Structure 1
Amino acid sequence: MASLNVYSALVVLFLTCAAPMATKENDQIIKENNSETKMGLPYVLEAFTSLFETGSISNECCGELVGLGKVCHSALVKRTLENPLVKDLCPATIIAKSIQKWNNCLALIDSPSPSA
């Protein structure tokens, strides 16, 4: 239950533009692409849990993630890694996981569904 509170706090920080430690480049990408409003909160929580803790991403969340776009996804992950709340995490590991999740979702969304 405590981890849900931590991840809820991360999501709130993720959704706010007021992160003073965020790089200008990531903030600009996020703002120009309306990145913070493209995914529903339940999918943001699911994606963040899978990146910063453990777990998989549902097909629906993959659709939302791919709809967000790779540029937005990367900028949001990088900006979140600049937050002091995640300072103990290895950025290289999180970025590698985010790329893997992105590629898995893209492959899932791009693959034709079996005929009925």
Structure 2
Amino acid sequence: MASLNVCSVLVVLFLTCGAVMATEENDQIIKENNCETRMGLPCVLEAFMSIFRIGSIFSKCCGELVVLGKVCHSALVKRTLENPQFKDQNPTTIIAKSIQTWNNCLALIDSPSPST
């Protein structure tokens, strides 16, 4: 019985350390790349809504997202998922929406604009 308790404590410690390391890694990426200052607030909100709620991200904000870069985009989404306010969000769904948003923005930015 004591070994079961010790095992349980070790598993909890391992999982906690993994979560803390992931948080620290995302924070380090965000800090080193100045991720939080590279998009305007309106575009941050637009991107957030397209990933965490219901909404679309349009051309101007897609441009800002692509300039932000995939590393920053991924780190910011992962850090947001670590916030207790988003504990009810399904991480698999959010990551899929994040990738979809990124890919849609790349396609939008890479496609030639219609001629006038």
TM-score range, shorter chain: 0.7 to 0.9
The runs of 5 or more residues in structure 1 that have no matched partner are 1-19
For the pair shown, the structure with the greater C-alpha radius of gyration is 2
Structure with greater contact order relative to length (CA < 8 Å, sep ≥ 6): 1
Separation in structure 2 between the aligned mates of residue 97 and residue 40 of structure 1, nearest angstrom: 21
| Higher share in helix | 2
Give, as a single letter, the amino acid of the residue that structure 1 aligns with 2:61. Answer: C
C-alpha offsets along residues 55-97 of structure 1, whole Å, 9 cap, x if unaligned?
1111111011111000000000000000000000101100000
List gaps (5 residues or longer) in structure 2: 1-19
Number of aligned positions between the proteins? 97
Output the TM-score relative to the length of structure 2: 0.79
Query: C-alpha separation between the residues in 1 aligned to 2:22 and 2:34?
Result: 16
| Contact 1:26-1:78 at 8 Å conserved across structures | yes
Classify the secondary structure of the residue corresponding to 2:72: helix
Give the TM-score, by structure 1 length: 0.79
Q: Which runs of 4+ in 1 moved over 6 A?
A: none
Note the C-alpha offset of 1:115: 3.3
Per the alignment, residue 88 of structure 1 pairs with 88
Distance 1:84 1:22, change over 3 A: farther
The reply on whether 1:24 has 2:24 as its aligned counterpart is yes
